[in-house]
Amino acid sequence: MRRNKKLTGFRDLIVWQLASDFSKEIYKLVQNFPRSERYSLSDDLLRAARSIPANIAEGWGRIFPKEKITFYNIANGSAEECANHLIEARNIEYIDKSTCERLQNRVHVISVKLTNLITSTRKRVESSSKRSTSNKRT
């Protein structure tokens, strides 16, 4: 993962990199779920996991900061949805406790980083609106 480098696209965001890796791991995980879950829990978990990096990418591509925040919030909601589905998978013994805890920790890190991205984007919006307000007064 790259640090201290100018961001040129969504692929440079550490949170997107983490989310993409998480999505790949979930894809491998659900391959071991019973076939009867193919259009149920497996599909729900995989869709939620894939939604995280997809919404980060879509948010990055938006021009207006408020739109960016909307998509980052959707990604954060999908992360929480994954956390729920992992608990469900543990409760019905599709995954063991250590796998559930490890994946819960990964999704928590993603959620925290998304929250930080949302906060920094919101601060840019507030800073921009303060500058535009002060420019109108002069």
Report if residue 56 sits inside a domain.
Answer: yes
CA distances from 21 to 15, 62, 121, 136 (A): 10, 23, 23, 46
Confidence class for position 125, pLDDT limits 50, 70, 90: confident
Residue 115 in domain: yes
Confidence bin at 63 (pLDDT 50/70/90): very high
Overall average pLDDT of the 10-19 stretch: 97
The CATH number assigned to the domain holding 72 equals: 1.20.1440.60
Answer whether residue 100 is part of any domain.
Answer: yes
User: Is 3 within the bounds of a domain?
Assistant: no
**Which is more confident, 108 or 133?**
108
Residue at 110 is within a domain: yes
Let me know if residue 29 belongs to a domain.
yes
Separation between Cα atoms, residue 78 and residue 98, nearest integer Å: 22
pLDDT at 5: 72
- In which residue are the tokens 């979930």 written? 26
Residue 17 lies in a domain: yes
% of the chain exceeding 70 in pLDDT: 89
Across 76-102, average pLDDT: 97
Q: Mean pLDDT over residues 41-56, rounded?
A: 98
Number of domains, the chain: 1
> With 80 as the cut, is the pLDDT of residue 88 above it?
yes
Percent of the chain residues topping a pLDDT of 90: 80
State the pLDDT confidence band at 132, using cuts at 50, 70 and 90.
Answer: low
Contacts 24+ apart (CB under 8 A), 105-112: 106/18, 106/22, 106/25, 107/22, 107/79, 107/82, 107/83, 108/83, 109/18, 110/15, 110/18, 110/19, 110/22, 110/52, 110/79, 111/76, 111/79, 111/80, 111/83
pTM metric for this prediction: 0.87
Asked if the model's pLDDT at residue 134 lies above 90, the reply is no
Is 136 a member of any domain?
A: no
